[in-house]
Amino acid sequence: MLMESIIKKTLGFKSHRVESVMLREEMLVAQIVPRKGSRPVCSRCGRKVSGYDSLMERTWRHIPCWGIPVCLVYRPRRGKCPTCGVKVEAMPWSRGKSFLSMPLIVVLAAFAKRLAWEDVARLFGLHWNTVKAAVKHIVDYGLEHRDLSGIIYIGIDELSRRRGYTYVTMIYDLVSGDLIWTGDGREKGTLEQFFAELGEERSKTIRGICCDMWEPYADVVRQEAPDAILVFDKFHIVKHLMAAVDDVRRQEIAEKGKEHKDLVKGTRYIWLKNPWNLTDKQQLSLKDLEKLNLKINRAYLLKEQFRQFWDYSYPANARKFLKQWFWWATHSRLKPMRDFAWMLRRHEEDILNYFRLKITGGRIEGMNRKAKVISQRCYGFRTFGMFRLALYHCLGNLPVPELTHKFV
């Protein structure tokens, strides 16, 4: 098969043909010309129009062939459209003013999902900015063509982007696990921006929203999506409980001094782990420590009692248990456990919504770990704009332009 036929087949030409392919300065140069008698297609409305004139010759980088760089050369025609006026013709291998062919853009973006952008640039002999431009093109196309009409359950969380309390707000579809939106910061205005971009109509279709007990998030959700059920995330609540148990351990060590510190040395995870995950050695240590009437042991028993809360099926029964557990915790003489109990009391109704709509942020935590891997793979991103681009590209499951040939 001739090289001209290969390029024609992979690019899906109809109104164009490859006139010649020549090797110039270690690069394959494909000269493209319009078919005789063909008319240009308006790049805005897609209708065939009468020819107007031709522009200067343009060059596009294409996918390398056997490690040899390939470029496409063509003089774009302009057509006179009765509706849109004089417009440059639509070319199946080109989008906008990019000097990359559409197949190369898709291939670069596909590699950029799995490798650092610098590695992709080195692999294809391009500049880092060229890879970034390809990713941006695909992300812009995906955001424009994605469908958000079927989203009914969303999860909201924050992610630390870099040191110094620099956060980004992450919003996921809890059904598919796809990233819906990300914004700089975790302020009230950040989440308000999401609902403004989502629109009032689509906000009304959301049935459930899961987030942590960050008050600015909760206030915006109640204001912008009043019909949705707000559920405080089970995993964040357990995280607060674990922190309270560990604070009891730290305070007890500070109160009783070095001798007690030596006694409980290496036992931190005994108090925090699930009982069935303890090793044989940890189980023996726990049995010995339980005989000493330690404050940390009381906190551990409260933690294990609270585990029953999630087993209820009806809000009324869960509320009854929560009331009883609140009394135990507030009379335990353990300040961290009392503080945790009062936090539950302040957010009781939204916590009990879990039994009306059992959605959790477990999937969010998994996606946030993937987001951190993306950042670590590229050794971080200097700006939020670049990080946002990488997040949408790798976690958004965005649609990509269709090609006539699958290159990767």
Q: Which letter does DSSP use for residue 157 in this model? A: E
> For 151-192, how does the pLDDT look when each residue is reduced to its tens digit (9 = 90+)?
999 999 988 877 767 889 999 999 999 999 999 988 899 999
Q: In which residue are the tokens 């009331």 written?
A: 323
Residues contacting 103, CB < 8 A, separation 6+ = 10, 11, 62, 63, 93, 403, 405, 407
Query: Containing H/E element for 230?
Result: strand 229-232
pTM: 0.86
> For 186-215, how does the pLDDT look when each residue is reduced to its tens digit (9 = 90+)?
889 999 999 999 988 999 999 999 998 888
**Which pLDDT does position 11 carry in this prediction?**
84
Kindly report the average pLDDT of the chain as a whole number: 90
- What percentage of the chain has pLDDT greater than the value 90? 53
Question: Could you give the residue range(s) of every CATH 3.30.420.10 domain in the chain?
Answer: 153-233+360-377
Q: How far apart are CA 145 and CA 58, in angstroms?
A: 28
Cβ-contact 355, 315 below 8 angstroms: yes
> For 374-402, how does the pLDDT look when each residue is reduced to its tens digit (9 = 90+)?
888 877 677 888 999 999 999 999 999 88
> For 310-352, how does the pLDDT look when each residue is reduced to its tens digit (9 = 90+)?
999 999 999 999 999 999 999 999 999 999 999 999 999 999 9
Cα–Cα nearest to 231, from 156, 323, 319: 156
Q: What are phi and psi of 206, to 5 degrees?
A: -75, 125
> For 225-264, how does the pLDDT look when each residue is reduced to its tens digit (9 = 90+)?
999 999 999 999 999 999 999 999 898 888 888 777 777 7
Does the pLDDT at position 98 exceed 60? yes
Mean pLDDT score, 117-144: 93
Query: What pLDDT band is residue 269 in, cutting at 50, 70 and 90?
Result: confident
Does the pLDDT at position 1 exceed 60? no
Q: In which residue are the tokens 């007690």 written?
A: 260
> For 297-306, how does the pLDDT look when each residue is reduced to its tens digit (9 = 90+)?
999 999 999 9
- In three-state form (DSSP H/G/I as H, E/B as E, the rest C), the secondary structure along 20-62 is EEEEECCEEEEEEEECCCCCCEECCCCCECEEEEECCCEEEEE
Does the pLDDT at position 12 exceed 60? yes
Mean pLDDT score, 361-386: 84
**Which pLDDT does position 164 carry in this prediction?**
66
**Which pLDDT does position 96 carry in this prediction?**
82
What is the third-level CATH fold of 153-233+360-377?
Nucleotidyltransferase; domain 5 (3.30.420)
